[in-house]
Amino acid sequence: MGAVGFTSASFAEGTNDTNSTNSEANSTQPSSCNAKSGFLGFPTWYKYLDVQQDENGCHIITKSPTTDSVDSGVIIKIMLAVVDILLYVSGIAAVVFVVYGGFLFVVSQGEPGKLASARKTILNAVIGLIIVLLATPLVRFLANFLSTKV
């Protein structure tokens, strides 16, 4: 079978341990096989990949169901998930820079140079946040489209 083996307990942790007992796998399988977000809500690298559940745990499907070769869309889906993670991080960074620009604005004490710098920081952060907010649905649409077509 064309799958990467993960037990349900190790799937959420990202390890490749296939020596767990069936009772451990059955107790945690439903929640961990469908886990699409990880630490602090970050998307996982396997978010758009197909996951199959059986008595041995969770398996990421890497081979095409019609042929015995590696599915060409797997690499693209992983890359889109990584871009999704980077967009998530970029959104957090943009919000941090808006707060930082607000701090600069408050401590500028009315000096025109510092006020202009603070406004520029806030403006650039808001532009970055808008780009992230527009790019995220596009990446998710492409990944979901490729998941159904490939």
Predicted local confidence at residue 26, as pLDDT:
40
Per-residue pLDDT, averaged over 36-40, amounts to: 72
Is 35 among the domain residues?
A: yes
pTM above 0.75, yes or no: no
In the chain, the percentage of residues whose pLDDT exceeds 90 is 36
Tell me how crowded residue 61 is: count the other CB atoms within 10 A of its CB: 16
Ordered strands of the 51-54 beta sheet: 3-6, 57-61, 51-54
Check if the beta carbon of residue 11 is closer than 8 Å to that of residue 46. Answer: no
Is 66 among the domain residues?
A: no
Check if the beta carbon of residue 36 is closer than 8 Å to that of residue 47. Answer: yes
Domain-ending residue, one of 39, 61, 83 = 61
pLDDT bucket at 44, cuts 50 / 70 / 90 = confident
- Same structural domain for residues 109 and 50? no
Pairing relationship of beta strands 57-61 and 51-54 according to DSSP bridges: antiparallel
Q: State which residues form the domain around 116.
A: 73-149
In the chain, the percentage of residues whose pLDDT exceeds 70 is 69
- Same structural domain for residues 52 and 109? no
Q: Rounded to 5, what percent of the chain is helix, strand, coil?
A: 65, 10, 25
